Structure formats: C-alpha cells, structure tokens
Structure 1
Amino acid sequence: MTISRALALIATVVLASGAWSQGMPIPKPSPGLMPNPTLGKALFEKNCASCHGERLDGSDKGPPLVHRIYEPSHHGDIAFQLAAKNGTRAHHWQFGDMPPVPGVTPDDVAHITAYVRMHQRRAGIR
C-alpha cells in the first residue's frame, strides 16, 4: 500500500468516525455499484456545476474541485457523500457553508465523485 493510499484510508476512517460519533448517518452507495464518470458528468452538471463551475474550476458561489485541497488523501470520497447529504461548514474557502443537496442519492454522489476524481487525475492530483 502506498503512503498516499494509507493516508487516504486513515482520513476516511477519521471522517467516518467523526460523523458516526456525532450521530450522522454515513451515506453508502449500493453494494457492488461501479461508479461511472460518464453518469457523474450529467449529475454534476445538474446538481453541482452552478456553484463548483462547469469545468470544476469554481465560481463566485463555490470552490474549484480540481484543486489539491480536494485530493483523495485530504478529502476522501466519504467527504463528498457527507457534504451532499448534510452540507458542510466553510473551512477552506470564503464562500460560506455548503447546504445539503436535496434529491441526490449516495449512488449519484459516487458517480459524481468518479467524475471529479477523473478530472483531478488528469490535472495530476492523485
């Protein structure tokens, strides 16, 4: 296991345990789901692009997702699940808190995350 994968695993465990200890349900995609970036693109455009930018480069409403802050070792996939379900406090940027995204399922978020990760890898973010 590489150091970055080990750190990502630790970050995921820490985030999950923090959510669990606060009584937050941890959203989980369907068992056996194969996240698909192509499906994620359409879901991103519908649910995320108005704040995070059509090209994931941010807007005046939300931060860019193709940025080292959102690399898997710092914001694991579970962070995307928790943010979509529960919203999140502003903690890296000055855009204000992110509200929950109604109507987006854990499967949808898994597809969106696959789309974001694909673009991050293309930009050299691993």
Structure 2
Amino acid sequence: MRKSFILGALGLAVLLALGWNAFIEAPEQRAATTGGIGDALVAVSLPDALTGKQQIGARAFETNCATCHGVNAAGRYGIGPPLVHIIYEPSHHGDQSFHLAVMNGVRSHHWPYGNMPPVDGLTTGDVDMIVDYVRALQRSNGIN
C-alpha cells in the first residue's frame, strides 16, 4: 500500500512539473530555453513599423528593462522572463500590472527568477510608452 502511494505521488509530481513547463513555455519556444545564462528565452518577430510613441517606448525599454527582460522583451535565460509570452497577454496582465510592477516591484509568481525590484526614474508617461511598445511586440507574435 505504501509503495503504491509513493509511486502515485511521484507520478503526480512529475505530471505537475511537466504540465507547469507546458504552461510557461509554448512548444515552439521550449528550444530557446536550452541556452546559456542570458540567452533569449523566446524568438520575437518584430512589428513591421512602430509608431513614434512605440519607438520612444522601445528606447526606454532597452534602457530600463532589457537587462532582465531581454532585447525586444525576449527574456533572458536564468535572469528574467520574456514579456512576449501568453502569460502577459492583456486579459491576464493588463497595462496597469506593468505600472504597478515598475512602481512597486513584483513578487515572483509565474517564473523562477526571483522577485522584480521597483524601477526608479520612470514616469507614468514613460511606462505608458514602454507598455505600448511591449503590446506591439506581443501583437506581432500573436498575443492579443
């Protein structure tokens, strides 16, 4: 009886781990996570064109966010999650979530990278433009 329970619990743990990995990484993105520390986690297709506001947001993102979230929000293996990911679609993480993350930081809950600290020196307008840029990247990658 005890052996069956242990085997069942072990099997459940494996299934949960596999299910979690399938949730946080789409199959087409899984190959990108086998790189070295700092490598991009996902492949990002860039929009054909960015508005002026999105271009400013892109520059602000690269200056303030890319160190952890990667160039073009592709994430960085072992460092920070991609924002071009289904987890950050507007219906799950609305624009206000990005504002709160910048202002207050975020407790780690979707990814194994630790807590995100607040980001100093960004205005509400700066974050609006960064969010606009990230949403443009998401749309170019089928995340609406």
TM-score by length of 1: 0.71
Using the alignment, how far apart are the partners of 2:69 and 2:111 within structure 1?
A: 12
Correspondence for 1:61: 79
Q: Where is the helix percentage greater, Structure 1 or Structure 2?
A: 2
* Structure 1 stretches lacking a partner, 5+ long: 1-34
Using the alignment, how far apart are the partners of 1:67 and 1:73 within structure 2?
A: 12
Q: Is the 8 A contact 2:54 2:132 kept in 1?
A: yes
TM-superposed CA distance for 1:55, in Å, is 2.3
Correspondence for 1:52: 69
Correspondence for 1:115: 133
Correspondence for 1:75: 93
Correspondence for 2:121: 103
Q: Aligned-pair RMSD on alpha carbons?
A: 1.0
Using the alignment, how far apart are the partners of 2:112 and 2:53 within structure 1?
A: 31
Q: Percent identity?
A: 55
TM-superposed CA distance for 1:110, in Å, is 0.3
Q: Is the 8 A contact 2:104 2:118 kept in 1?
A: yes
Q: Cα deviation per residue 1:39-85 (whole Å; 9 max; x = unaligned)?
A: 10000000000000012110121100000000000000000000000
The partner residue of 2:60 within 21, 24, 43 is 43
Paired positions, count: 92
Question: Which amino acid in the other structure matches residue 56 of structure 2?
Answer: L
Structure of higher RCO (CA pairs closer than 8 Å, 6+ residues apart): 1
* Structure 2 stretches lacking a partner, 5+ long: 1-51
Q: Give secondary structure in 1 for the equivalent of 2:120.
A: coil
Using the alignment, how far apart are the partners of 2:114 and 2:126 within structure 1?
A: 24
TM-score by length of 2: 0.62
Correspondence for 1:8: none
Q: Which runs of 4+ in 1 moved over 6 A?
A: none
